[in-house]
Amino acid sequence: MSRGGTGGRQRVRTARGRTAQSTRWLERQLNDPYVRRAKAEGYRSRAAYKLLELDERFGMLKGVRRVIDLGIAPGGWSQVVRRKRPDAIVVGIDLLPVDPIEGVTILQMDFMDERAPALLTEALGGAPDLVLSDMAANTVGHQQTDHLRTMALVEAGAWFAADVLRPGGAFVAKVLAGGADSDLVAELKRNFTTVKHAKPPASRKESSEWYVIAQGFKGRADGGD
């Protein structure tokens, strides 16, 4: 690896066995200010700043006491919650292993497993104020298929949120280019007072990701809380 002058852009030589694509990824990481900031501030990923920026705009973390983090790996979002709300109870779930985070209960399993919702709510010990979802399906290289699989996870997260949130709670989820589809938006608007889309500055411009922020949960039709 060669370096430019102090503060200059770092360039990466293509090493034996490293593809041009992986070289570009490594170079982008080395020159990404959010990656450097995450390392300096002890966050596990640059994604932490996406949540921080969304919270600055929408205030979802204000006063939260119980939070569920869907797709927690590697843990940056839960770190943000714990730093901003040290007394909050946080439960996360992911297929991937996640190193322990103080004050966070982590379940390693598929959120689509029929046992997952009950295990999450049991571990939380009460209705959440906030359900976060940074879930995305593993890509297969076919754009339409990848989009459908990820949006299926978003929809599952939205149904779960509508089933477990306390009245007044919020649901925040990563969606893809174009935002949530019309049926999902309509469903969210039935369940929440406000539904908005946003692309935080920490989300790379070339990325297709957006976030849907649904706030002011109206409560379940059965009157549960």
Clarify whether 84 is annotated catalytic.
Answer: no
Confidence of residue 92 (pLDDT cuts 50, 70, 90): very high
Instruction: Provide the edge-to-edge strand list for the sheet that holds 210-217.
Output: 104-108, 89-94, 66-70, 130-133, 170-175, 210-217, 192-198
Q: What is the mean pLDDT of residues 44-49?
A: 92
- Give the tokens for residue 85: 């709300």
Domains of the chain are 1-31 (no CATH), 45-217 (3.40.50.150)
Catalytic residue among 174, 189, 196, 199: 174
Is the confidence at residue 128, as pLDDT, over 80? yes
Binding site, annotated residues for S-adenosyl-L-methionine: 75, 77, 94, 110, 134
CA-to-CA dists, residue 94 to 113, 175, 191, angstroms: 11, 17, 26
- pLDDT tens digits along 190-211: 999 999 999 999 987 778 889 9
How many Å apart are CA 14 and CA 18, to the nearest integer?
6
Contact predicate 76/55, CB 8 Å: no
Name the percent of the chain lying above pLDDT 90: 61
As a whole number of Å, the CA-based R_g of the chain is 18
What is the model's pLDDT at position 25? Answer: 45
As a whole number of angstroms, the distance between CA 222 and CA 225 comes to 9
Q: What is the chain's percent helix, strand, coil content, to nearest 5?
A: 35, 20, 45
**Per-residue CA distances from 180 to 54, 57, 76, 115, 184 (Å):** 17, 19, 23, 26, 6
Q: Is the pLDDT of residue 69 over 50?
A: yes
| Structure confidence at residue 60 (pLDDT) | 97
